[in-house]
């Protein structure tokens, strides 16, 4: 399964499935960013009418999930619990807005997903749904 997770056909199929679900849920449109284990963008999708600001936000969420080895939601909690700021990490690409999650296979980090366009907790839920669908599509290809 590992080698198929970032197969462009599998990625497209997984994201298209989830995009079709979110198109009809009455919530705002989204952008989707997928990065590899180094934080490099490997796939991007922007729904029509999604504000342009969401482009960099979604990429930053995916990047942060890889660099911090956790969801951006958990990273936000960490910042509060440890009483540090995001600036302390000296990486201007980091964000603590929920909606970014790491992609792991057998506990190995292989990439990250970032979603932007909705409330942060809603973005987080869509990211989890995309990960589920990516795994399903990779298993079937």
- Determine the pLDDT at residue 35: 96
Distances (CA, A) of 56 to 7, 60, 83: 23, 6, 26
What is the SS3 assignment for 88?
Answer: helix
For the cut 60, the answer to whether the pLDDT of residue 128 exceeds it is yes
For the cut 80, the answer to whether the pLDDT of residue 4 exceeds it is no
What is the C-alpha separation between 80 and 137, in angstroms, rounded?
36
Q: What is the mean pLDDT of residues 23-51?
A: 95
Mean pLDDT of the residues in the chain: 93
Token pair listed for 7: 């197969």
- Determine the pLDDT at residue 7: 77
Q: What is the mean pLDDT of residues 70-90?
A: 97
Q: Where are the beta strands (DSSP E) in 56-118?
A: 100-105, 108-116
pLDDT band for position 72 (50/70/90)? very high
Helix, strand, coil shares of the chain, percent, nearest 5, are 50, 20, 30
Q: Which residue has the higher pLDDT, 38 or 11?
A: 38
For the cut 80, the answer to whether the pLDDT of residue 6 exceeds it is no
What range does the domain containing 79 cover? 2-140
CATH number at residue 22: 3.30.450.150
Query: How confident is the model over 13-36, as pLDDT tens digits?
Result: 999 999 999 999 999 999 999 999
What's the structural domain count of the chain? 1
Distances (CA, A) of 54 to 1, 89, 92, 141: 30, 23, 16, 31
- Determine the pLDDT at residue 107: 87
Strand order in the sheet with 41-46: 41-46, 31-36, 108-116, 100-105
């Amino acid at each position: 399964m590992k080698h198929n997770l970032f197969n462009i056909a599998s990625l497209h199929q997984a994201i298209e499935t989830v995009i079709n679900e979110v198109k009809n849920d009455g919530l705002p449109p989204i952008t989707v960013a997928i990065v590899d284990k180094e934080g490099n963008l490997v796939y991007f999708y922007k729904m029509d009418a999604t504000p342009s600001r969401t482009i960099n936000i979604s990429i930053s969420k995916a990047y942060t999930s890889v660099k911090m080895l956790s969801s951006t939601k958990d990273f936000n909690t960490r910042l509060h619990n440890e009483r540090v700021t995001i600036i302390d990490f000296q990486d201007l690409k980091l964000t603590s807005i929920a909606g970014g999650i790491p992609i792991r296979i057998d506990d190995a980090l292989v990439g990250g997903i970032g979603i932007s366009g909705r409330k942060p907790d809603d973005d987080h839920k869509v990211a989890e749904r995309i990960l589920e669908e990516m795994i399903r599509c990779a298993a079937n290809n």
